[in-house]
Amino acid sequence: MIETTQAPRSVNSIIKTGVISGIAATLCYFGAAVLPLPQAIGNLLGFAFGPLVIVSYIGIYSYWSQKYDGALLRISCVFGIIYGAIVTSLIFIQVANNIWHEELMASAETTEISERLITIHTAVNRVQAALDVAFDVFVTISVLLLGMVLLKDSIVAKIYGILGIVIALLLLVLNLYTFPDGPDEVGFFDAGPFLGLWYAAFFIWMIALLFNKK
């Protein structure tokens, strides 16, 4: 087990910031996607999600690189940061398109115009749907590689590693198999929430590691 008290104070600060950001990111994810919150609050949670993910990966690297620095960990964290950037772009595009669509629909003078606007919005919205698959590719590969790193550590780490690898592979295969549609659109289930739960459990476990003085 890593003794965080031996690490430089600046590294400890980065690790703690990353872990807190990871917890906050998962709360933003489930808050925006699951809870019946007002639209404005849901949007703010969505906007914060990607940047928090990026910071969380900086913390992940700072912690695990003390024991297992190498290609797997570095690529995992780079892909995780790219994932955070893509999902931020997706959310801003999605929210902006919906706002513009609602404004145009409110000013539509005829049923024919409304139908055309709906058709246009549906077509344009396919862009963010494709971005959804793009960030799923990066996040699943990131978790897959991180899981392989965890397999080198304790029994608990191995359990997290195996679960992460299985969920990531399932999500990746389903998204690529059903592309350009989402798995839930063609009769399969969306494994995304399971990955979100894995992240939540992973960061809670990392908090326990930080408090472990063994």
What does the alpha-carbon distance between residue 64 and residue 164 come to, in Å, rounded to a whole number? 16
Gap between the Cα atoms of 8 and 207, Å rounded? 18
pTM: 0.86
DSSP state of 110: S
* Averaged confidence pLDDT in the chain: 88
Digit-coded pLDDT (tens) for 136-192: 999 999 999 999 999 999 999 999 999 999 999 999 999 998 887 778 777 787 888
- Asked whether the predicted pLDDT for residue 2 surpasses 50, the reply is no
CA distance 142 to 33: 22
Question: Hey, where are the domains in the chain?
Answer: 7-89+128-211
φ/ψ (deg, to 5) at 136? -65, -35
Half-sphere exposure of 175 (CA within 13 A, CB side): 22
The rounded distance, in Å, linking the Cα atoms of 72 and 6 is 24
For residues 211 and 214, give the distance between their C-alpha atoms in angstroms, rounded to a whole number.
9
